Homo-oligomer: A and B are copies of this chain.
């Protein structure tokens, strides 16, 4: 059984792979808040054990085996986030950190019970897809709000969940899952957008816009 550290490495690598071309030692180190030197050591271990492929100075990739492990943990994380919101009435901005710990100690039995009580949900409270029992996960190929064109009317499908501040801010200007956003104007100067959400008009900064994934 993989240790908590191993699980965190695999999860982070898997998630970084989705949004970066190369998952370098340094990138991974930053993501894990661990020194690059330490990462090198662990990457060697995990490669030897068949969880990763590592081309020195180039980057790492999870193998099939590594991916399976990563998805198991992500499934537990997202199910637990859902449970925190639905059953324990946590708000969406406080659950990520809670789930970071529980994902590692959640038993199979527990996973099943929670999945059952929640009625087999397919997305978590931030709209991220929950990996299924069989190891599959719905592919996400949404664009970010930052990429949406002027005049478009889009739907909020996913919001990045790492930062409570971001989520609080998003809530405060009316952004939540499945809300529609009309892009009234994009400012050339810095990429800010003037948008209409419901009946209110606000400005969305480029940084916020890059954390929000939308579809049509």
Interface residues of A (CB under 8 A from B): 87-90, 94, 98, 101-102, 105, 107, 109-110, 113-114, 117
Contact = CB atoms under 8 A, between A and B. Distances in A.
13 contacts: A87-B117, A88-B110, A88-B114, A88-B117, A89-B113, A89-B117, A90-B113, A94-B109, A98-B107, A98-B110, A101-B105, A102-B102, A105-B105
A117 B86 CA distance: 12
A118 to B, nearest CB: 11
A83 to B, nearest CB: 9
Given A88-B114, A98-B109, A102-B102, 14 more contacts: A87-B87, A87-B117, A88-B110, A88-B113, A88-B117, A89-B113, A89-B117, A90-B113, A94-B109, A98-B107, A98-B110, A101-B105, A102-B105, A105-B105
Contacts of A114: 88
A105 B117 CA distance: 22
A10 B17 CA distance: 42
Contacts of A101: 105
A44 to B, nearest CB: 27
A117 B113 CA distance: 18
Contacts of A90: 113
Nearest to A113: B88
Contacts of A105: 101-102, 105
A110 B89 CA distance: 11
Nearest to A104: B105
Contacts of A87: 87, 117
A102 B87 CA distance: 17
Contacts of A110: 88, 98
A120 to B, nearest CB: 15
Contacts of A98: 107, 109-110
